[in-house]
Chains A and B, each alone.
Chain A
Amino acid sequence: MKKMLTIFGRDVRVNMKNFMAVFIILFPIVMAIGINLFTPGINDTTVNLALLSKDTEMAAYYEDFAKVETFATQGEVENRVAQRDNVVGILPEENGNYYILTQGNEPKEAVVEYAQVLKALYELDAQVADSNAVLHNFGKTVPPLKNTLVNAMILMISILGGMLISLNIVEEKMDNTVSAINVAPISRTAWVFGKSLMGLLLPLVGSFALVLITGFTYINFLQLAAVVVASALISIIVGFVQGLNADDMMTAVAGIKMMMLPMIGSVIGAELVSQKWQWCFYWSPFYWMYKANGIVLSGAGEWPKLLLDTGLVLVITALIFAYQAPRIRKGLEKV
């Protein structure tokens, strides 16, 4: 165990000196910031309403469902709406009815329609207590694009873990240092696990950083950890296979990059292909990872469904492992 950490610690030390490895390690954080810049954050899309301060009764009602700011004059409300973030104004018309004022660039589904629904509910004088529906997704104000991006990034990060593993194995091969390890009192198993640790920890730390930075603070992190660990196993296996079979870093990286095709394909398939054809993607572990991550990111906490999807990921992983095990064993004997 201690020696396993020694192996891992050495890999970390070497990776911190290598530009490509540092880039891979920082990638999740860079992506998180990128996602925040290009898609509205969760807080931005918690619908912000701008009202006139005289409409106190209306403000009190909306406050249960949205962030409400009040202004003295119609002009001030209009100024507020015109600012960059997503604020929707609700203002009285001459005839006493209220209308919705938007800037035009707000996400229609998440912000404007939500505001319209709220307005309608207020006008009907509907109360939460009146509803007998279980409000599962109430408060799910994350735009689907952001959800998809974060989900796909989590898959991407686990692939990057495999890429680091393969880089670290190629390094040992190029320096021919495995023979030195072989005449030290450390077991092959400890070495393999030590080398694998990176493929587990990078995805875990990276995904946690990613969801926290992008604002998915309400999710069940235990669920996220479960899905990420299950997803990382495939990358670890592929990382080893590529590392053991490649003779230089570039070949290893190219080999790992091949994993991105089925990954991206599965994400697109899950998102865009009609329900009737979804079965076409059932073979892909990434498809099930994506589904499982979707459940996690929704924050809805459906363990049974989550465990089913994660279980399928593990089953496919086991099949891949069974198929690759001889190659790995042979590769390990050679190094």
Chain B
Amino acid sequence: MIKVEGLYHSYNRDGDYAVKNASFEVPKGEVFGFLGPSGAGKSTTQGILTGLLRLQEGKVNVAGYDVKELKRSMFNKIGMSFEQSNVYSALTARENLRFYSKLFDVPTEDPDTLLKLVGLFDVADKKAGEFSKGMKHRLTFARSMMNNPELWFLDEPTTGLDPAIAATIKEIVREKNKQGVTIFLTTHNMYIADELCNRVAFIVDGEIKLIDSPRNLKLQYGQNLVDVEYGDGGSLKKETFSTVDERDIKKLQELIGRKHIATMHTKEATLEEIFIKVTGRELV
């Protein structure tokens, strides 16, 4: 669905690259996450993929289209939700969607269906200018589904939203993916990446450091740990064991056999801890 080779981008064409030598592929049906701190070059990459930024160097193929010679018909197949919401303040939520739907050459969703999906149906006739930031974001998000895209770009889809709304959005993304939609998602939120993505790319300072599935990464980099609380002669003791280390495993097995276990929690290494380990940078 997406194929990128040797992508470079310099905003001022001065050799100061926002994206450096990025290469990756996203197969059909995958949720691919671009994970990195802000300023890493995630939005820039997405901008090039969606034709918002001109391709300077490298090969980019999106949904079967060569981005170098952009064809407008490509946009019938893709959807794009922006990091910064951008809707017409002077139009109502419904008018915003209705206007946008007329720009496509393919069948589009009913605006009201989309508004219901993101919980804005009650305010469909309210001007978007009077919306809160979160509501505007949801409208922008809803708009990106207008043409039932095969390939869906989401830039920081849950950033700055309250948890309940973020959960709704995650649910919609999961549902769309189940229907076969390929999703390219950028975020600096490792929970989102972990929960939604089949594979993630770690990106720092415009460079992709690695690409793998969250599960593989945890197997490879994460040392899985177990916290155990057990009764020992009247008092409660606490110990942490590795599930990888041979001696720890043996000790844990003995403990389970001889002592009374009060609580036992596995503690996975988080994607964030792995990110720090791999890139030496925090995800902020």
Within the complex, the shortest CB–CB distance from A198 to chain B, in Å, comes to 15
Contact A175:B103 (CB < 8 A) given known A180-B82, A183-B78, A185-B73: no
Interface pair A181/B103, CB less than 8 Å apart: yes
Closest residue of chain B to A18 (Cβ to Cβ) is B90
Within the complex, the shortest CB–CB distance from B27 to chain A, in Å, comes to 22
Using an 8 Å CB-CB cutoff, how does the interface string of B61-77 with A read, 1 for contact, 0 for none? 00000000000111110
Interface pair B75/A185, CB less than 8 Å apart: yes
Within the complex, the shortest CB–CB distance from B11 to chain A, in Å, comes to 12
Indicate which residue in A18, A175, A185 contacts B87 across the interface (CB closer than 8 Å).
A175
Is A116's beta carbon under 8 Å from chain B? no
Interface pair B95/A13, CB less than 8 Å apart: yes
A185 CA / B76 CA spacing, docked (Å): 6
Is B116's beta carbon under 8 Å from chain A? no
Contact A3:B143 (CB < 8 A) given known A14-B90, A183-B80, A185-B72: no
Which residues of chain A (161-205) have a CB below 8 Å from chain B? 171, 174-177, 179-187
Interface pair A183/B91, CB less than 8 Å apart: no
A128 CA / B48 CA spacing, docked (Å): 78
Is B84's beta carbon under 8 Å from chain A? yes
Is B182's beta carbon under 8 Å from chain A? no
Contact A6:B102 (CB < 8 A) given known A176-B86, A180-B82: yes
A176 CA / B83 CA spacing, docked (Å): 12
Contact A10:B91 (CB < 8 A) given known A179-B82, A186-B72: yes
Is A17's beta carbon under 8 Å from chain B? yes
A174 CA / B102 CA spacing, docked (Å): 22
Is B51's beta carbon under 8 Å from chain A? yes
Interface of A is mostly: helix
Is B88's beta carbon under 8 Å from chain A? yes
Interface pair B88/A184, CB less than 8 Å apart: no
Within the complex, the shortest CB–CB distance from B97 to chain A, in Å, comes to 11
Contact A187:B72 (CB < 8 A) given known A10-B99, A13-B95, A181-B103: yes
Contact A183:B99 (CB < 8 A) given known A13-B91, A176-B86: no
Is B105's beta carbon under 8 Å from chain A? yes
A175 CA / B88 CA spacing, docked (Å): 6
A334 CA / B277 CA spacing, docked (Å): 39
Is B221's beta carbon under 8 Å from chain A? no
A183 CA / B47 CA spacing, docked (Å): 10
Q: How many A-B residue pairs have CB under 8 A?
A: 64
Contact A175:B72 (CB < 8 A) given known A10-B91, A180-B100, A183-B78: no
Contact A179:B91 (CB < 8 A) given known A3-B102, A185-B75: no
Is B52's beta carbon under 8 Å from chain A? yes
In the complex, which of the residues B51, B72, B82 has the most CB atoms of chain A within 10 Å of its own CB atom?
B72
Within the complex, the shortest CB–CB distance from B241 to chain A, in Å, comes to 51
Contact A17:B90 (CB < 8 A) given known A181-B103, A184-B104: yes
Closest residue of chain A to B104 (Cβ to Cβ) is A185
Residues from chain A with a CB closer than 8 A to the CB of B95 are 13
Interface pair B103/A185, CB less than 8 Å apart: yes
Within the complex, the shortest CB–CB distance from B278 to chain A, in Å, comes to 32
A181 CA / B51 CA spacing, docked (Å): 12
Interface pair B90/A179, CB less than 8 Å apart: no
A106 CA / B80 CA spacing, docked (Å): 69
Within the complex, the shortest CB–CB distance from B187 to chain A, in Å, comes to 19
Closest residue of chain B to A178 (Cβ to Cβ) is B86
Interface pair B72/A179, CB less than 8 Å apart: no
Interface pair B104/A6, CB less than 8 Å apart: no
Indicate which residue in A6, A176, A179 contacts B99 across the interface (CB closer than 8 Å).
A6
A169 CA / B100 CA spacing, docked (Å): 17
Indicate which residue in B51, B79, B102 contacts A182 across the interface (CB closer than 8 Å).
B51
A residues with a Cβ closer than 8 A to B are 2-3, 6, 10, 13-14, 17-18, 171, 174-177, 179-187
Complex A-B: 21 CB contacts under 8 Å: A2-B102, A3-B102, A6-B102, A6-B103, A10-B91, A14-B88, A17-B90, A171-B89, A177-B86, A177-B88, A180-B82, A180-B143, A181-B103, A183-B75, A183-B78, A184-B100, A185-B72, A185-B73, A185-B75, A185-B103, A187-B72
Q: A175-B89, A180-B87 are in contact. List 11 more A-B contacts (CB 8 A).
A: A3-B103, A6-B103, A13-B95, A14-B90, A18-B90, A171-B88, A180-B82, A180-B86, A183-B51, A185-B76, A185-B105
